[in-house]
Amino acid sequence: MLSRETVASQLSHTLSEIDIPNLGKKISGKVRDSYVVGAKRVLITSDRLSAFDKILTTIPFKGQLLNAMTAHWFEQTKDIIENHIIDVPHPNIFIARQVEIIPIEVVVRGYLTGSAWRDYQAGKAISGITLPKGLKKSQRFDTPLLTPSTKAEQGEHDMPISEEAILQSDLVDPGLWEQVRDAALKLFAFGTKKAAERGLILVDTKYEFGTSVNERGERFIVLADEIHTQDSSRYWMSNTYQERFEAGEDPHMLDKEFVRRHLMQKFDYMGDGEPPVLSDEFRIDTALRYIEACETITGTPFEGRPGDTASEIREVLANYSF
């Protein structure tokens, strides 16, 4: 594992954002800056840390870690469904196929927690699914639930949507939605199995799918964005889950939840107004947690490439033949 010193020395080189004017108009997401170049999409994963839909700070190596995890899972799941990756010319860059993103966040849940738990407690259905009474927080579902939401515009929160409403909408062709749901459930089952081999529970996750057209003019689905990362998924430790669940305690987590807790407990911050300034100590601790989680999830040591990430990216892209 990278030492605390290496992580600390990268604090001054974190990638907060980048402009590559030669590639055209920049599209900024919360975490990725991207460009469309012909039929390709250049996705640059920054070190930005977001929580409560706000960008808080940067975390050393976070972009490289997210890409390493996604690349790992894409490789392992390519027989389940085709994904958008074409090339990884630098640890922070994905060259992907540009697809038409289906504007639905495809959420799959194996356990009752997070926003689903909050809605359940408030007596609401979860994306149109009415759950039986008497379930407990962090309880496992007999079969994973598909709880989609619509993709919100920048600055807005996503809204849950039922599958029935999806089928009646013009968000996606019903035949393609059938393929999306099938792929999402298979990916989740695969991720659950692999996580279990590493002592982890894949609690819930979010997928993004896009569509592309083949030579015969038919539309088909492609897995896009990221998969099974700590930004898009919850992970818990399996060994302590049952005991803690029975005692009514929250499971030990391996995801970004500790960032949200830090904000709530130390700063009483839940996303309203200016986010607090996070200390370098906290940024280093967060990086070390991301690294440890990445290594546990992928089962391989994270090398990390220290250095002036922004200059490297510029150089790689200036010489890239698209």
Nearest residue (CB) to ligand ATP, 224 versus 293: 224
CB contact set of 220 (below 8 Å; sequence gap of 6+) = 82, 179, 211, 212, 213, 214
Tell me: does residue 230 bind ligand ATP (CB under 6 A).
no
The answer to whether 62 contacts ligand ATP (rule: CB under 6 A) is no
Q: Is 125 helix (H, G, I), strand (E, B) or coil?
A: coil
Spatial CA neighbour of 222 closest among 86, 18, 45: 86
Among residues 29 and 276, whose Cβ is nearest to ligand ATP? 29
Nearer to ligand ATP, 17 or 137 (CB): 17
List beta partners, residue 129: 126
What's the token pair of residue 73?
A: 């899972």
Residue 44 binding ligand ATP, by CB under 6 A = no
Residues of span 277-316 touching ligand ATP by CB under 6 A: none
Site map (CB under 6 A) of ligand ATP, residues 143-182, x = contact: ----------------------------------------
CA distance 240 to 52: 27
Number of chain positions touching ligand ATP (CB under 6 A)? 17
Residue 121 burial (CB count, 10 A): 11
Out of 47, 204, 208, 257, the only residue in the binding site for ligand ATP (CB under 6 A) is 208
Based on CB atoms, which residue is closest to ligand ATP, 138 or 211?
A: 211
> Which pair of tokens denotes residue 104?
């639905």
Strands (E), the chain: 27-28, 32-37, 40-45, 48-51, 54-58, 85-90, 93-97, 100-101, 104-111, 140-146, 149-150, 159-160, 200-213, 219-224, 233-237
Q: Which of 96, 112, 145, 288 binds ligand ATP (CB under 6 A)?
A: 96
Selected binder of ligand ATP within 15, 95, 224, 253 (CB under 6 A): 224
What does the binding site for ligand ATP look like in residue numbers (CB under 6 A)?
29-32, 34, 41, 43, 84, 96-99, 101, 208, 210, 224-225
